[in-house]
Amino acid sequence: MTDTKDTETAQFTATEVPSLKTDVAEAPKRKFEDLPPAAQRALQEAENRRKEIDAKHNAMAPEVDGRGGLEPTRYDDWEIKGLTVDF
């Protein structure tokens, strides 16, 4: 790492650097119909998998004195807060 400033970004403060701006409102929204057929198929398959997982989760008996929340193995792998955990 060097101590010299990059001349292209030296004129900007940390919040003004164009490459670091996160203004999502300016990003154009794409419609489902505008996506390529492969992307549409992938999104539909993912939605069907989520529906199957939700149906399986809703069909399970409630856990007695459990930790509460969603079942950590609902995606066939142990996960906590969206991250897969390996023992």
Q: Is the pTM of this model over 0.85?
A: no
Compute the distance between CA of residue 17 and CA of residue 6 in angstroms, rounded to an integer: 12
3 state SS for the chain = CCCCCCCCCCCCCCCCCHHHCCCHHHCCCCCHHHCCHHHHHHHHHHHHHHHHHHHHHHHCCCCCCCCCCCCCCCCCCCEECCEECCC
Q: Length of the chain in residues, anyone?
A: 87
pLDDT tens digits, one per residue of 19-59 = 666 666 666 777 888 899 999 999 999 999 989 988 988 88
pLDDT computed for residue 12 by the predictor: 64
Share of the chain above pLDDT 90, in %: 18
